[in-house]
Amino acid sequence: MTKMMEALYHNWIGPPRPEFWPEHVAHDPVLAHGLDCFERGLQLGLLLGLEAFLFEMDD
C-alpha cells in the first residue's frame, strides 16, 4: 500500500465505528466495517472526481 493510500485510509476511514454499521450486518464486524469502508471510499472518490471536474470546467 502506498503512503498516500495509507494516510487517506487512516484519516478518512479510521478505526471501526459500530454506530455507523447497518443493522443487518452488525452481527458480522468484518463485513460491517468493510461496507463502511467501501461507502466512505466511494464518497471520497466522488468528491475527488467532482473537484477535478469542476477544476476542468473553470478553464
pTM of the model: 0.70
Structure confidence at residue 59 (pLDDT): 62
| pLDDT tens-digit series, residues 2-59 | 898 888 888 878 888 899 888 899 899 999 999 988 998 899 899 999 999 888 777 6
C-alpha cell at 22: 447497518
25: Cβ contacts below 8 Å, ≥ 6 apart: 31, 32, 35
Structure confidence at residue 1 (pLDDT): 66
Backbone angles phi, psi at 27, to 5 degrees: -75, -15
